[in-house]
Structure 1
Amino acid sequence: MTTEQLIHQIKFKKSFLCIGLDIDLTKIPPHLLELEDPIFEFNKTIIDATHDLCVSYKPNTAFYEAYGIKGWQSLQKTINYINEKYPKIFTIADAKRGDIGNTSSMYAKAFFEDLNFDSVTIAPYMGKDSVEPFLAFENKHAILLALTSNEGAFDFQTLESNGKELYKHVLETSKKWKNAQNLMYVVGATKAEYFSEIRKIIPNNFLLVPGVGAQGGNLLEVCKYGMNSDIGLLINSSRGIIYASNDIDFAQKAREEALKMQLEMEEILENYFS
């Protein structure tokens, strides 16, 4: 998917919501556990109930890898279902990969060719040759970890070198890489006060923003400092939507929570572009 197509979907749906499909078998409705593939059945039902309210789905691969080959098969069935039934949805493999060049090339082939995701999250620590293999794919995107929402982010990401925080070095350096126009960045909603500084460095790139909802991030604050003329934000919510209920009504409750966020986003967009 091109960036322009993503922007079109955001404006069409009046939403920049990304729903995280982080599936834990101990949290899904018990009646699904009787089915042959409860992970896929849960995902399929959530997707069918919310696809018109969001522009993106983000499975975190750890929640599938934990169940071995069956979990990976559930992931493949999930991405195939989205691509076949809702092809205008932007898909994110939250895999946090990044290794030496030839290994990254194989990771890129796995997620972009075999699974056919639109994007994958990447750890930047190993530098240019670990990221550029992901950027070599046409209309695919690498989403670089920049300033994450977890408490441990302050261990390294905000450390200063030559008077500048590490995350700023990551942003500035990555802009020089080949096909950097295909880069997006992870910036946690719990770090809303940093968005103004981030936008000075990367004014045009999309930001994937976790941490709204369960982790305490504020949507209005993120949009105030992080939104650009192309919207430029994908706001992720996982637990707050998909686990709104673990009863027979789980899909309806998930839709209700997604609708709350979509309506809030619609109001923000109307005010921002009025």
Structure 2
Amino acid sequence: MKTEALINQIRKKQSFLCVGLDTDLEKLPSHLLKEEDPIFEFNKAIIEATQEFCVAYKPNIAFYEAYGIKGWKSLEKTIDYLNTHYPEQFTIADAKRGDIGNTSTRYAKAFFEELNFDSITIAPYMGKDSVEPFLAFKDKHTIILALTSNVGAFDFQTKKVDGQELYKMVLSTSKTYENPQNLMYVVGATKAEYLKDIRKIIPESFLLVPGVGAQGGDLQDVCKFGITENIGLLVNSSRGIIYASSDEHYASSAKEQAKKIQLEMKIELDKLK
């Protein structure tokens, strides 16, 4: 998907919400466990309930790999369903891959060609030759982990190297890679106060922002420091939406929560007018 198409969807829906499909069998409503593929049935219902209020979906690949071949089949069915019925939705493989050369190319082929995701999350620790193979794919996006929302982010990401925080070095160095127009970045909502400095380095790039909701991130703070004229944000909510209810009304509860966040986003977007 071209970035322009994503921006158009954001403006059309007045939303920059990304719904995280972190689907865990242990958290699904009990009646779904009787289904042949409970993970897919859950995802399908969540997608149908929330698609009018969001512009992106982000399956966390670990939640599918954990169930082996059956989980991978559920992932395939989920991405096929999205691409067939809602091709306007931006899809993110939250895989956090990171390796060099041909290995990265194979990861890219798996998610960009075989599964046809629009984007993938990447750990940049191994540097240029672990990222550029992903950037070689036209109209596909590589989302680099820059400053994450977890507590352990302070172990390395904010430490200074030659007088500069490591996450800032990641941002500035990645701009020198081939096809940098295909780059996006993960910046956690719990690190909203850092967004002002981040925007000085990457003023227009799209940011994938997890951590709003269950992790305590604040949407208004994220927008205050991170939003651009072309929006430049995809704010993710996973548990807060898909597990808003654990009974048979789970889909309608997810819809209500997604709508609530979308209305909050509309208020922020109206400020740009």
Question: Match for residue 50 of structure 1?
Answer: 50
Q: Does structure 1 residue 72 correspond to structure 2 residue 72? A: yes
Aligned-residue offset at 1:64:
0.2
SS in 2 for 1:184: strand
1:61 is matched with 61
Question: C-alpha offsets along residues 226-257 of structure 1, whole Å, 9 cap, x if unaligned?
Answer: 00110000000000000001111000000000
Residue 243 of structure 1: aligned partner: 243
Cα distance in 2 between the residues matched to 1:55 and 1:101 = 32
The answer on 1:176 being equivalent to 2:176 is: yes
Instruction: Report the CA distance between 1:23 and its aligned residue.
Output: 0.6
- Residue 120 of structure 1 aligns to a residue whose secondary structure is strand
> Corresponding residue for 1:118?
118
Aligned residue in 2 for 1:143? 143
How far off its partner does 1:186 sit? 0.1
> How far off its partner does 1:162 sit?
1.5
Q: Distance in 2 between matches of 1:221 and 1:2?
A: 27
Which residue in 1 is equivalent to 2:29? 29
Please give the TM-score of this superposition, normalised by the length of structure 2. Answer: 1.00
**Alpha-carbon distance in structure 2 between the residues aligned to 1:133 and 1:84:** 27
How far is the alpha carbon of 1:98 from its aligned partner?
1.1
How far the C-alpha of 1:161 sits from its partner, in A, is: 1.1
Consecutive unaligned residues of structure 2, counting only runs of 5 or more, are none
RMSD: 0.4
* In structure 1, distance between residues paired with 2:45 and 2:161: 48
Separation (CA, whole Å) in 1 of partners of 2:152 and 2:48: 35
2:20 aligned partner: 20
> For residues 141-168 of structure 1, what are the alpha-carbon distances to aligned partners after superposition, in whole Å with 9 as ceiling and x for unaligned?
0000000000000000000012110000
3-state SS of paired residue (2:27): coil
**One-letter code aligned to 2:259:** L
Tell me which amino acid in the other structure corresponds to 1:60: N
One-letter amino acid of the structure 2 residue matched with residue 84 of structure 1: T
| C-alpha distance in 2 between matches for 1:39 and 1:64 | 9
| Paired residues, number | 273
SS of residue matched to 1:230: coil
| 1:26 counterpart SS class | helix
Q: Which amino acid aligns with 2:34?
A: E
In structure 1, list runs of 5 or more residues that go unmatched. Answer: none
Equivalences for 1:258-269 in 2 at 5 Å? 258-269=258-269
Distance 1:129 1:239 in 2: 34
**Percent of counterpart pairs with the same letter?**
71
User: In structure 2, the residue corresponding to 1:18 is in which secondary structure?
Assistant: strand
Amino acid aligned to 2:112: F
What secondary structure sits across from 1:225 in the alignment?
Answer: helix
